[in-house]
Amino acid sequence: MFVVRISYLSILYVVAQRCCLPYAHIIREITPDGYTLYGVELQLPSLFIHDMPRSLFFWSSTVLDSTILYEDGSTAPYEDAACQALRCLQSIYSFTVVDYSYSTMVTRQQLFNRVFSVANRGAQLARMVVAMSHNGSPTDLHVLCCAERVLDDLNILMNPTRL
């Protein structure tokens, strides 16, 4: 099993672009006692012509030592601040971030369930038509051939070695 990490920072940059934010960057400050603070600065667009743009700052909730090395190019300390910024922007712009891989997986599963249900009903109908023809009931030859083809196709699907 493995874990896939999604970067809030990369999502934030996409959202900032879609929301037409004039400024969205990561920032770093060093405190007087030597700790490094990591954050995100966003500038919201002006609402009125002569209005001053508002800047919002989001800081990582943990103070991280500047001597710690991060595997992914030192973006890990910014992830907490980016998550906070995304939540704030979400409350302002009412957007939704969709995980397409999960969404696609759910859609495919629903589609497979429906296809299986239709195939199952078709198989039951085909079996009834074939059984009626074997019992001597009058059956149209074309309907009987279609029913037998459905059953043959289902047998091939159930036994892929027969392909």
Residue 42 resides in a domain: yes
Same domain as 109, residue 41: no
Range 21-28 average pLDDT: 92
Alpha helices, DSSP H, located in 1-99: 8-18, 79-93
How many structural domains comprise the chain?
Answer: 2
The pLDDT of 90-114, averaged and rounded, is 82
Q: Which of 3-17, 75-89, 112-126 has the lowest mean pLDDT?
A: 112-126
Q: Is the pLDDT of residue 13 over 80?
A: yes
Note the pLDDT of residue 160. Answer: 57
Name the token pair of 125.
Answer: 């109908």
Q: Are 89 and 104 in the same domain? A: no
Residues 72, 16, single domain; the answer is yes
Same domain, yes or no: 157 and 137: yes
pTM for the model stands at 0.56
The residues pairing with 59 across neighbouring beta strands, listed in sequence order, are 39
pLDDT (tens digit per residue) in 29-85: 988 988 888 999 999 988 777 788 889 999 986 655 444 444 545 467 888 899 999
Domain that holds residue 13: 8-93
C-alpha atoms less than 13 angstroms from C-alpha of 45 in its C-beta half-sphere:
12
